[in-house]
Amino acid sequence: MFTGLSAFPLTPLRDDRLDLDAFGRIVAMLAESGVDSVTALGSTGSYAYLDRDERQRVVGAAVEAAGGTPVIAGIGALRTSHAIAFARDAVDAGARAVLLAPLTYQALTDDDAYGFYADVLEHLPVPLVVYDNPGTTHFTFTDALYGRIAALPGVASIKIPGLPAGVTAEQRVAQLRDVVPEHVTIGISGDAFAARALNGGCDAWYSVIAGTLPAPALRITRAAQAGERDEAEAESARLQPIWDLFAAHGSNRVVAAIAEELGLAHPGSLPLPLRGLGEEGRMRVREALAELDLR
């Protein structure tokens, strides 16, 4: 469950309410495409904006629509007791694993973050993916902290936010392998890095784009897994217009616009105050979809 391609679907809203019909159709499409897992309530799934009842309904809908494909559920919260409650709800709804980011309002110390994971894991009957996403959480993991947390019983994988400048993917994986136990997989996020990271030895890709357009993400993943390094890199290079849009507007707004454009979600699918892409950005999205034959 913690290797290969995990697809992160949007949680589309309609008039500020969950659009579970649209969500179920997206998850079913992902499962049919052959992704290795579906992660509901990732950042792309707007978990941080949803209340407890909404989150539980989203996980239930994901499990139902995913069929035999395992569902991982995001349980991130600012408060430890809330994350524990979200985890309980997610497991009750059928999630096979959970994904947890250290959200911040007040800055967290390393000991705060370690305690957060330790306290949640103490109550957790399923494996946990450590979610490092400094762009949204404003928390920075050190490799030493990865190591401390990954040694806690129940940690199955670490979702790293990309590759730092100046090291190869192979070097980065080696650095992480030095601190993280063998049974804990290393998954890349930051879609533009995925081909390089998978070619360099990452075990998994926790993917934004795969949650809306699974086919090109599967091509990259299966090529890398088969040792066809050049094919993986070439498909990623072909998608550069998408990566450029992600860098300019944030991946969340761009995939929401793609989903709206493709009829997978109704307009205004993001939770306000997020207004989504403006008209110019949407035009570039339409151009990219046509140019890349992704419709």
- Looking at the annotation, which residues are catalytic? 131, 159
Residue 142 annotated as binding site:
no
Min dist. Cβ of residue 80 to a copy of itself (A): 4
**8 Å CB contact between 16 and 34:** no
**Residue window 204-223: x/- pattern of binding to a copy of itself, with contact defined by CB under 8 A:** --------------------
Per rule CB under 8 A, is residue 237 in the interface with a copy of itself?
no
Per rule CB under 8 A, is residue 11 in the interface with a copy of itself?
no
Min dist. Cβ of residue 62 to a copy of itself (A): 20
Which range touches a copy of itself (CB under 8 A), out of 147-155, 219-227, 238-246, 273-281? 273-281
Min dist. Cβ of residue 258 to a copy of itself (A): 16
Q: Give the interface size with a copy of itself as a residue count (CB under 8 A).
A: 34
Choice between 9 and 216, CB closer to a copy of itself: 9
Interface with a copy of itself in residues 60-119 (CB under 8 A)? 78-82, 102-103, 105-109, 111-113, 115-116, 119
Q: Which position among 21, 53, 67, 138 is part of the footprint of a copy of itself (CB under 8 A)?
A: 138
Choice between 33 and 136, CB closer to a copy of itself: 136
Choice between 219 and 282, CB closer to a copy of itself: 282
Min dist. Cβ of residue 286 to a copy of itself (A): 20
Angle (nearest 5°) at CA 96 between 84 and 8: 90
Min dist. Cβ of residue 22 to a copy of itself (A): 19
Angle (nearest 5°) at CA 189 between 184 and 190: 155
Residues at the annotated binding site for pyruvate? 44
Binding positions for a copy of itself, rule: CB under 8 A: 16, 43, 48-49, 51, 78-82, 102-103, 105-109, 111-113, 115-116, 119, 135-136, 138, 250, 252-253, 271-275
Residues at the annotated binding site? 44
